[in-house]
């Protein structure tokens, strides 16, 4: 089907802006392996998050998640768990499995759509689980910063477990404390995939206050090599190319404008969609908004709204449905307790276009179709 209003339309720098960078890359004959563009990009990412932060770029967020788990937990023997929500993208569950741990799904809460702190606390205090939990992979759902990230940090500290945060879609988002997403936990992981608000093609980054962790990640993503090219730890190839880093540096020149546009589009959904029929994720107005998430209040009507929009030429999705625990490869895993809220939201969530090229008339049509 051809859609008049696409779900996502990436906003990339123009060809002329990149041409000079590409000439420089050819001239220096340095295409990857921590070249000058990558080094500068890594510093810009860290500075953007705040003073005292460090960043390791990656070829994707998935590679960044895998690297972080290896660096922080070490490779597991397949017997221990890492907590995570099922209501997220499958990358986290894959990374946990590759790293030798078992994903233990925790339900989400209704207002922020994030992993439920109370359920996670119960799991960590549960004698039949606590000793076999190795870490927590929190997910800032849709890149929206959690409204209680400080409570998660306390919980992890009390349990003496690392808190790793998948903020893949959230570069540019703010926590409700106005602190940047990227600044919490042991580290936070971002994606710069073409479909994310800060797109460079394929790419990602891990941000942390821990300089030694970031140095270790730079080694892990380069075959576990030391400075001398000796494989001193388990590694793989997860490096970011120069051309993608060059695109990323150009995106930094445009990021505030992109965020402003997306937040304006989202603000219009927020103020014009009928509140009797739809509700929103808490704190999303401060997010970088890869799309707009709405929860249909009327049970059983989500698919009807989705079909109505699609047949009018509006491309919509239902992220993160189906949740991970319903997907073929992961459905044998037993969640900690039944995922009641996850399953409910799974059937009510509707993802609307919220990109940098939204035409006001197109958005008016979407709003009108949903309100009537
Ligand atoms: C997009 C996304 C990923 C994967 O990012 P890649 O860069 O494509 O590997 C992981 N987790 C979440 C929550 C995402 O939204």
Q: What is the pLDDT along the chain (372 residues), one digit of tens a residue?
A: 678 999 999 999 999 999 999 999 999 999 999 999 999 999 999 999 999 999 999 999 999 999 999 999 999 999 999 999 999 999 999 999 999 999 999 999 999 999 999 999 999 999 999 999 999 999 999 999 999 999 999 999 999 999 999 999 999 999 988 899 999 999 999 999 999 999 999 999 999 999 999 999 999 999 999 999 999 999 999 999 999 999 999 999 999 999 999 999 999 999 999 999 999 999 999 999 999 999 999 999 999 999 999 999 999 999 999 999 999 999 999 999 999 999 999 999 999 999 999 999 999 999 999 999
Q: Which of 59, 89, 145 to mutate to test the pocket of ligand 1 (most atoms within 8 A of CB)?
A: 89
Query: Which pLDDT does position 178 carry in this prediction?
Result: 86
Query: Which pLDDT does position 177 carry in this prediction?
Result: 85
Report the SS3 class of residue 108.
Answer: strand
Query: Which pLDDT does position 176 carry in this prediction?
Result: 86
Ligand 1: nearest atom to the Cα of 193: 7
In Å, what is the CA distance from 96 to each residue of 68, 239, 296, 358? 10, 20, 32, 37
In Å, what is the CA distance from 309 to each residue of 19, 63, 279, 357? 39, 35, 18, 18
Q: Which residues pair with 206 in a beta bridge?
A: 56, 189
| Cα separation, 26 vs 87, whole angstroms | 43
Ligand 1: nearest atom to the Cα of 140: 13
| Cα separation, 114 vs 107, whole angstroms | 8
For ligand 1, residues with CB inside 6 Å are 60-62, 88-89, 91-92, 139, 166, 168-169, 191, 193, 204
Q: Which of 10, 57, 59, 61 to mutate to test the pocket of ligand 1 (most atoms within 8 A of CB)?
A: 61
Q: Which of 10, 95, 169, 182 to mutate to test the pocket of ligand 1 (most atoms within 8 A of CB)?
A: 169
- CB-CB contact of 7 with 315 (8 Å): yes
d(CA 92, ligand 1 centre) in Å:
8
Query: Which pLDDT does position 105 carry in this prediction?
Result: 98
d(CA 191, ligand 1 centre) in Å:
6
Q: Which of 68, 91, 94, 98 to mutate to test the pocket of ligand 1 (most atoms within 8 A of CB)?
A: 91
Query: Which pLDDT does position 357 carry in this prediction?
Result: 94
Ligand 1: nearest atom to the Cα of 169: 15
d(CA 190, ligand 1 centre) in Å:
8
d(CA 202, ligand 1 centre) in Å:
10
d(CA 169, ligand 1 centre) in Å:
7
Protein residue closest via CA to atom 6 of ligand 1:
61
d(CA 324, ligand 1 centre) in Å:
13
User: Is the torsion defined by CA of 289, 195, 350, 149 positive or negative?
Assistant: negative
Ligand 1: nearest atom to the Cα of 203: 7
Q: What are phi and psi of 222, to 5 degrees?
A: -120, 55
d(CA 249, ligand 1 centre) in Å:
20
Is the pTM here over 0.95, yes or no?
yes
The 10s digit of each residue's pLDDT in 257-289 is 999 999 999 999 999 999 999 999 999 999 999
Which strands make up the sheet holding 102-106, listed edge to edge? 54-58, 204-208, 187-191, 163-166, 133-139, 81-85, 102-106
Let me know if 275 is exposed, middle or buried by CB neighbors in 10 A (0-12, 13-18, 19+): exposed
d(CA 189, ligand 1 centre) in Å:
9
d(CA 89, ligand 1 centre) in Å:
6
């Amino acid at each position: 089907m051809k859609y008049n209003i696409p779900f996502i339309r990436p906003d990339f720098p123009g060809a002329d802006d990149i041409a000079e960078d590409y000439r420089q890359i050819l001239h220096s004959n340095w295409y990857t392996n921590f070249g000058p563009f990558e080094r500068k990009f890594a510093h810009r990412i860290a500075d953007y998050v705040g003073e005292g932060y460090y960043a390791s770029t990656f070829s994707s967020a998935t590679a960044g998640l895998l690297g972080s788990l290896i660096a922080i937990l070490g490779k597991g023997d397949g017997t221990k768990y890492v907590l995570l929500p099922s209501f997220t993208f499958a990358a986290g569950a894959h990374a946990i499995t590759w790293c030798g741990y078992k994903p233990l799904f925790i339900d989400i809460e209704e207002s922020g759509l994030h992993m439920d702190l109370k359920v996670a606390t119960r799991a960590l205090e549960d004698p039949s689980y606590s000793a076999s939990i190795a870490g927590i992979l929190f997910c800032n759902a849709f890149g929206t910063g959690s409204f209680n990230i400080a409570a998660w940090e306390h919980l992890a500290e009390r349990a003496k477990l690392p808190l790793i945060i998948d903020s893949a879609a959230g570069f540019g988002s703010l926590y409700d404390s106005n602190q940047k997403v990227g600044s919490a936990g042991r580290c936070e992981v971002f994606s710069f995939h073409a479909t994310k608000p800060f797109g460079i093609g394929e790419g990602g980054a891990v941000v942390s206050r821990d300089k030694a962790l970031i140095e270790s990640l730079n080694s892990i993503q380069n075959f576990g090599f030391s400075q001398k090219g000796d494989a001193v730890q388990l590694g793989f190839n997860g490096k970011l190319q120069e051309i993608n880093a060059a695109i990323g540096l150009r995106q930094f020149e445009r990021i505030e404008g992109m965020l402003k546009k997306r937040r304006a589009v989202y603000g219009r959904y927020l103020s014009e969609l009928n509140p009797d029929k739809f509700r929103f994720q808490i704190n999303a107005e401060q997010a970088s908004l890869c799309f707009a998430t709405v929860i249909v209040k009327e049970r059983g009507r989500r698919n009807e709204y989705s079909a109505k929009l699609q047949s009018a030429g509006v491309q919509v999705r239902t992220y993160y449905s189906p949740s991970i625990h319903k997907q073929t490869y992961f459905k044998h895993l037993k969640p900690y307790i039944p995922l009641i809220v996850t399953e409910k939201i799974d059937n009510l969530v509707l993802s609307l276009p919220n990109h940098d090229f939204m035409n006001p008339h197109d958005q008016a049509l979407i709003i009108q179709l949903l309100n009537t």
